[in-house]
Amino acid sequence: MQPKAKRRIVLVAEFSIHPIGMGTSVGRYVKAAVRAMSRIPELTVDVTPMSSVLEAESIGTILEAVEVSHRILRSMGAKRISSSLRIDERLDKRRKMSDKTRGLKRLARAGP
Amino acid sequence: MQPKAKRRIVLVAEFSIHPIGMGTSVGRYVKAAVRAMSRIPELTVDVTPMSSVLEAESIGTILEAVEVSHRILRSMGAKRISSSLRIDERLDKRRKMSDKTRGLKRLARAGP
Amino acid sequence: MQPKAKRRIVLVAEFSIHPIGMGTSVGRYVKAAVRAMSRIPELTVDVTPMSSVLEAESIGTILEAVEVSHRILRSMGAKRISSSLRIDERLDKRRKMSDKTRGLKRLARAGP
Amino acid sequence: MQPKAKRRIVLVAEFSIHPIGMGTSVGRYVKAAVRAMSRIPELTVDVTPMSSVLEAESIGTILEAVEVSHRILRSMGAKRISSSLRIDERLDKRRKMSDKTRGLKRLARAGP
């Protein structure tokens, strides 16, 4: 099996999901969604304080993550679900997720 | 065939897409995406100055709109594509797209 | 006073806000936010099923809308607030909000 | 001076900005925005492959980050600027940015 780091990353996306009306602590719903997405083959998932960063070679894989996340929240009894997805599809050059943050991390840490 | 207005709307979404690096005027790409989405059966599309508002009974239909939009921009030569999707899935009561703006329109127009 | 339609629109934005954990019906919070934003001078507000479309000449005016919306939800007792803002700032040509949808509305209505 | 980690984090946000029409490689614009945001006192900035994660005690600090980012892109000659901001304001309990990812990282890494 090809290691994840070597795959050609065409799509990087940012996805966030939460139920509305199930209290202010939505952590267990977010956890369930991350766990469900992590089971999707060909998808790389990383979490940030605001969303999951998704990497894939095909847009279908990214959209499957959205679908399974909504499904898992429905199965947990959520009556209303809000989600947000931003996709960056890049066809002009090969890249890896790490390419996008290299250098930037250093800038951010330098601080005021 | 059942008229669109009578369908049970479970999902309302907001979708926006544009190419990066094809000049500042991206109208023809947006038009092509709206045209492609409008051909999807079971999907209602309405446009605002910032995005397309999508209505459907199933999340698969919403995600198909994202997929065909990326596909059409790729076919037009876009080398990098940015898109944004926000989904509001509501299972606790029936509604129509118009339900969500009734009353609000009046408030906004009242102005300062 | 200059009529709103004649102002030079540099920024068009899409803004959405809701409390988390106050039940699934968040309409009264959304209404309060729209009412508060509508009182901001130099800001044009229009509502869609998913968000408020904001128009202004200066980014400060757009950001003031975000600030007053969070403030009103806090004053209504919201313990957790989620909001989403997308800005399109365009300096290369004059435009009005209506410019962005002309033509697109027709396409969307043509349907499948 | 109080160390950043000890501050009470009320707001966590996710912010992304890019010019439209300046080519597909927008890295230098993103870098300039991150550098400008990192100079804002009372703001913590961390970068992900898709956006900057911002932490602050006041919403004004978050919105200042948006304002300086648009300003820096304008000063670099961008004729059209697209940005996206998602805010999570939480008043019911103290937290730190790291609280939101603890546990989730492990889940994501467990993989399929």
By the CB < 8 Å criterion, does A21 face chain C?
yes
Which one, of A89, A52, A44, lies nearest residue B29 by Cα?
A: A89
* Burial per residue of B14-52, b for 16 or more beta-carbon CB atoms within 10 angstroms, e otherwise: bbbbbbbbbebebeebbebbbbbbbebeebbbbbbbbbb
Query: How is B46-85 classified by DSSP, letter by letter?
Result: EE-SS-EEEEESSHHHHHHHHHHHHHHHHHTT-SEEEEEE
H-run or E-run covering A17? strand A11-19
Q: Does residue A1 sit in helix, strand or coil?
A: coil
Mean pLDDT for the stretch of residues C78-99: 85
- CA-CA distance, C45 to C55, in Å (whole number)? 7
- Band (pLDDT 50/70/90 cuts) for residue B7 is low
Structure tokens at A110: 């330098």
Taking only the tens place, the pLDDT of each residue in B72-95 is 999 999 999 999 999 999 988 766
- Is a pLDDT exceeding 70 seen at residue D17? yes
How big is the CA angle at B84 (ends B64 and B59), to the nearest 5 degrees? 35
ipTM value, please give it: 0.86
Other chains touching C, judged by 3 or more CB pairs under 8 Å: A, B, D
Other chains touching B, judged by 3 or more CB pairs under 8 Å: A, C, D
| Of A68-77, B18-27, B60-69, C61-70, the least confident | B18-27
By the CB < 8 Å criterion, does B86 face chain A?
yes
Which one, of A102, A40, C88, lies nearest residue D81 by Cα?
A: C88
Beta-sheet strand order (sheet of A52-56): A44-47, A52-56, A11-19, A80-90, B80-90, B11-19, B52-56, B44-47
Cβ <8 Å between B89 and A67: no
B104 within 8 A of C34, measured Cβ to Cβ: yes
Taking only the tens place, the pLDDT of each residue in D56-74 is 999 999 999 999 999 999 9
Which one, of D48, D52, D46, D60, lies nearest residue D89 by Cα?
A: D60
By the CB < 8 Å criterion, does D70 face chain B?
no
Choose the mutation target among B54, B59, B67, B86 for the interface with A, i.e. most A CBs under 10 Å.
Answer: B59
By the CB < 8 Å criterion, does B32 face chain D?
no
By the CB < 8 Å criterion, does C39 face chain B?
yes
Taking only the tens place, the pLDDT of each residue in A43-81 is 999 999 999 999 999 999 999 999 999 999 999 999 999
> Torsions phi, psi of B69, nearest 5?
-70, -45
D82 within 8 A of D68, measured Cβ to Cβ: no
- CA-CA distance, A111 to D110, in Å (whole number)? 33
| Of A44-53, B21-30, C77-86, D29-38, the least confident | B21-30
Query: How is A28-76 classified by DSSP, letter by letter?
Result: HHHHHHHHHHHTSTT-EEEE-SS-EEEEESSHHHHHHHHHHHHHHHHHT
- Is a pLDDT exceeding 60 seen at residue B1? no
Which one, of B88, B29, B26, lies nearest residue B53 by Cα?
A: B88
What pLDDT is attached to residue B111?
54
Please state whether the predicted TM-score (pTM) of the whole model is above 0.80. yes
Q: Give chain C's length.
A: 112
C41 within 8 A of B112, measured Cβ to Cβ: yes
| Of A35-44, A94-103, B45-54, C7-16, the least confident | A94-103
